[in-house]
Amino acid sequence: MVIQEIFGVNTVMRGITDSLAAEGYVALCPDLFWRQEPGVQLTDQTEDEWARAFDLFNGFDLDKGIDDLRATIKTFRGLEECTGKIATVGFCLGGRLAFLTATRTGADASVSYYGVKLDELKDETVNCPCLLHVATEDEFVPKEKQTEVHAALHGNPKVEIYYYEGQKHAFARAGGNHFDQDPADLARERTLQFFKTYLI
C-alpha cells in the first residue's frame, strides 16, 4: 500500500504504485484527502499548488487517516490476489502515516521515506518491521528532531534506519526539485529487499 504525499494521488504516486506492481506485488494508493477534497492531484511545481498542499496537510485528521488505512489493509487482505501480508510505503505525510501503520495497525511491514513529525510519535510501540529513509538535510525535519527519533528508535530490533547524507526532503520524488537519482535508486533497492524479506 503506497501512502501519498501532501500532493494527493498524483502522477508521482501512481508511478510508484505501478512500479511496485511491475515487481509482482498487488499495489494500491488510497486517496486519503477524500474527506477534504476527493481526487487531489497536485504537483510541486507552483507556489499555488504548494499552498493548497499545505492547506490539505494542516487540515488532515490524522486519526481518521489511520482509520482509512486500517480499512484499506482489511480490504486489501481480502483480495483474492493478495497473500494476506501487507506492507506500507509512504512519503512525507505518507512517511509519517507509514510509521503509524507500524504502531497502530496490523500491517506486516512498513517503509517511511522522509517522514515528517516522527519526533511526536517516537514513543509509540513499533509492532512490525519498519524501515526509515532519512534525508540528513531535510528542511521539514530539523536535525535536532532527527536526533530525537534516532535516540528513541536506535537499537530497536524491529527498526532499520538509513541516512542519506546531504540529501534534502523528497530526494526520491521523480521530477521534484530535490530529486537525486543515485540515492533514490539506493533507497528503492533497500525498500525492495525489505519487502522481499518480510512479504515473501
Q: Rounded distance, CA 76 to CA 79, Å?
A: 5
Contact 183, 168 (CB under 8 A): no
Site of grid cell 480490504: 75
| Identified catalytic residue from 138, 150, 180, 185 | 138
Write the DSSP string, 32-61.
Answer: TTTTTSTT-B--SSSHHHHHHHHHHHHH--
H helical segments located in 78-176: 93-104, 143-153
Instruction: Find, among 149, 1, 22, 143, the residue nearest to 72 by Cα.
Output: 1
| Identified catalytic residue from 44, 108, 133, 169 | 169
User: Residue 160 forms beta bridges with which residues?
Assistant: 131
Q: Is 138 considered catalytic here?
A: yes
What pairing do the DSSP bridges indicate for beta strands 109-113 and 159-164?
unpaired
Give the max Cα distance, the chain. 45
Backbone angles phi, psi at 124, to 5 degrees: -75, 155
Site of grid cell 509482482: 24
Q: Is 150 considered catalytic here?
A: no
Active site residues: 138, 169
